[in-house]
Amino acid sequence: MTGPNAIPPKASTMTLETVSASKCFGGTQYVYAHEARTTRCRMQFSAYVPPQAADGPVPVLTWLSGLTCTEENFTVKAAVQRHAAEHGLLVVAPDTSPRGEAVPDDEAWDLGTGAGFYVNATQDPWAGHYRMYDYVVEDLPDVVVANLPADMSRRGLFGHSMGGHGTLVVALRNPDHYKSVSVLAPICAPTETGLGEKVFGAYLGPDRETWRAYDATELVKDGHTCAPVLIDQGDEDEFFKMGAMKIDAFQAACAAAGQPVTLRMQQGYDHGYFFVQTFMADHVAYHAGILNG
């Protein structure tokens, strides 16, 4: 790509600005900011550095958040730090979209800022900044390994809702990067839903063939695989009940392809962070069992 939407060359140094730092469970909860190469704006992410990192690099567990979130929601609401400290994992959580005065937005809650959907947009006005797929796959790991005590040979990926979609897509397209994968209430087949048609149409244009690269179910059908996937899903989740998750379609594709999936339906739980918080210990332990194993 050339012209005004061209991506700058990879900087030889990647400077992190510390937005905040607070001791938590013997480690430190940071919020950092940096100039992102792919999204061409200042991006924030949070990083919990566990006490074990004082003795050397530790595994990295990256969380992808859902619609409307910044890096803050997960960081303050998921109660992940206790478990990260117990298991010695560095937990990284990026924002869900580019932000700033130069970044296009939309009045809708499900398009524009807070709704990057982990795609590389190709359509105006989004193509210049909305490159969250590349941000998660390239920029974020680059800046993490350059600045934090991260063992990049032991990486896990997890996420919630739109971030569950992002987790599955990123893991399926980069199976060598992530040894462990889990999701809570994930959007599993966005191209089969009205929401997916709206946002993929806006970001990627009308050619549905280009959407397949960002649909976990289609990726599995196309032969992509990744580490075994743990899924927790509440049966009182309003989005699940309206059919937005399509976990059944993902399960069917995985069964046909031999991709291991464990789905745990959780009775009475809804879509929010009280659900996420409840099963956070299980998810961190699942990743730690693989990454520390």
Q: Which residue in 271, 205, 200 sits closest to 238, CA to CA? A: 271
Q: Shortest approach of a second copy to residue 278 CB, angstroms?
A: 5
CA 53 to chain centre: 23
**Cis amide prior to 125 (ω within 30 degrees):** yes
Integer Cα distance of 38 and 40 in angstroms: 5
Kindly name the residue from 129, 271, 283, 287 that is annotated as catalytic: 271
Integer Cα distance of 251 and 257 in angstroms: 10
Residue with Cβ nearer a second copy (281 or 290): 281
Kindly name the residue from 34, 232, 237, 287 that is annotated as catalytic: 237
Q: Shortest approach of a second copy to residue 77 CB, angstroms?
A: 5
Kindly name the residue from 161, 177, 180, 283 that is annotated as catalytic: 161
Active site residue 182: no
Q: Shortest approach of a second copy to residue 136 CB, angstroms?
A: 25
Residue with Cβ nearer a second copy (130 or 279): 279
Residue with Cβ nearer a second copy (4 or 268): 268
- The length of the chain in residues reads 293
Q: Which residue in 49, 62, 248, 285 sits closest to 159, CA to CA? A: 62
Binding positions for a second copy, rule: CB under 8 A: 22-26, 29, 76-77, 79, 81-82, 234, 236, 268-270, 272-275, 277-278, 281
Pairing relationship of beta strands 90-94 and 229-234 according to DSSP bridges: unpaired
Q: Shortest approach of a second copy to residue 113 CB, angstroms?
A: 22
How many CB atoms neighbour CB 58 within 10 A?
A: 26
Q: Which residue in 185, 170, 90, 178 sits closest to 134, CA to CA? A: 170
Lookup result for tokens 């994992």: 89
Active site residue 139: no
Residue with Cβ nearer a second copy (26 or 175): 26
Q: Which residue in 48, 82, 45, 85 sits closest to 64, CA to CA? A: 45
- Token readout for 194 is 């009205």
Q: Shortest approach of a second copy to residue 138 CB, angstroms?
A: 30
Residue with Cβ nearer a second copy (147 or 266): 266
Active site residue 129: no
Q: Tell me the residue type at 25.
A: F
Q: Shortest approach of a second copy to residue 183 CB, angstroms?
A: 19
Residue with Cβ nearer a second copy (122 or 278): 278
Give the count of alpha carbons within 13 A of 98, CB side only.
30
- Residues marked active site are found at 161, 237, 271
